[in-house]
């Protein structure tokens, strides 16, 4: 079976879905499927500019974005999908409100190829409220058709499954959490003395609720609990400055450290 997987970006700084996409593609290849993963990149992106490579049995193809922006418009990925989609048995398409999703769904519908569509959190309350003036009409005019024509809908969480069901697509929803590869023995010993160590590991984005964690940290510290927090991840520079300022306002500078993307 030939599987074509489509995601707008595989850049690790964009968060967990990029990492999980590689893991699931690798697992499908190990199961004996012929897997091609396509995505977009900035024209001069490092380490992957436009081109292709085979890693762990998966063929990756990187298409340059034609213009900057979060819509990830790529003329070449559209041309590729329209010309070769018919060569695949099934497609797995990730995220809504992205150009690769639009052309992938339309190509699958045109060539009568079954496809699985995974919203990847784009239907949660925060995401819909963010720029709702354009997202809500876009969803009604464009994405409802894509969801309705999918052979199956891949929800990553119960909340996402509920959101899809509320939109009338409950019969197509399959709840499958994102998978990651974890070593059997990570070789880390738990410290039993010293401060309680907390780790926040995520891209830095308002939807993640990090200010609430900082306020909770300040509250428990005020009660005498020795606790330290490491924040691993990157995001918009302006938002990261807001977080650092919030740390200072809460007098947490001595117990919170930012280590960037890891």
Do 77 and 63 form a contact (C-beta atoms < 8 A)?
yes
pLDDT cut 70: percent of the chain above it: 92
Give the tokens for residue 21: 């996409």
Task: Please compute the mean of the pLDDT values over residues 28-34 and round it to a whole number.
Answer: 96
pLDDT confidence of residue 152: 97
Confidence grade of residue 238 (pLDDT, cut at 50, 70, 90): very high
How do residues 177-210 score in pLDDT, each as one tens digit?
887 677 666 566 666 678 999 999 988 988 889 9
How do residues 102-113 score in pLDDT, each as one tens digit?
999 999 999 999
State which H helix or E strand residue 124 sits in: none
Task: Please compute the mean of the pLDDT values over residues 72-84 and round it to a whole number.
Answer: 94
Residues 6+ apart with CB under 8 A from 110: 82, 85
Residues 6+ apart with CB under 8 A from 42: 64, 65, 68
How do residues 244-253 score in pLDDT, each as one tens digit?
999 999 999 9
What pTM was estimated for this model as a whole?
Answer: 0.77
């Amino acid at each position: 079976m030939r599987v074509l997987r489509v995601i707008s970006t595989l850049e690790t700084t964009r968060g967990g879905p990029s990492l999980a996409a590689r893991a699931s593609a690798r697992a499908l290849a190990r199961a004996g499927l012929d897997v091609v993963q396509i995505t977009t990149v900035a024209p001069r992106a490092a380490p992957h500019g436009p081109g292709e490579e085979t890693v762990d049995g998966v063929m990756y193809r990187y298409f340059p974005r034609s213009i900057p922006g979060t819509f990830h418009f790529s003329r070449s990925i559209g041309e590729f999908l329209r010309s070769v989609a018919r060569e695949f048995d099934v497609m797995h398409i990730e995220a809504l409100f992205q150009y690769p999703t639009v052309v992938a769904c339309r190509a699958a519908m045109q060539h009568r190829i079954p496809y699985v569509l995974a919203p990847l959190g784009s239907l949660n309350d925060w995401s819909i409220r963010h720029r709702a003036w354009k997202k809500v009409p876009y969803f009604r005019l464009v994405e409802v058709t894509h969801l309705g024509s999918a052979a199956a809908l891949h929800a990553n969480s119960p909340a996402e499954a509920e959101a899809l069901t509320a939109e009338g697509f409950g019969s197509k929803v399959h709840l499958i959490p994102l998978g990651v590869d974890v070593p059997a023995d990570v070789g880390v010993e738990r410290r039993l003395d010293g401060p309680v160590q907390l780790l926040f590991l995520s891209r830095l984005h308002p939807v993640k609720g990090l200010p609430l964690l900082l306020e909770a940290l300040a509250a428990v510290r005020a009660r005498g609990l020795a606790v330290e927090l490491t924040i691993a991840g990157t995001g918009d520079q302006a938002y990261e400055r807001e977080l650092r300022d919030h740390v200072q306002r809460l007098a947490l500078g001595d117990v919170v450290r930012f280590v960037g993307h890891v």
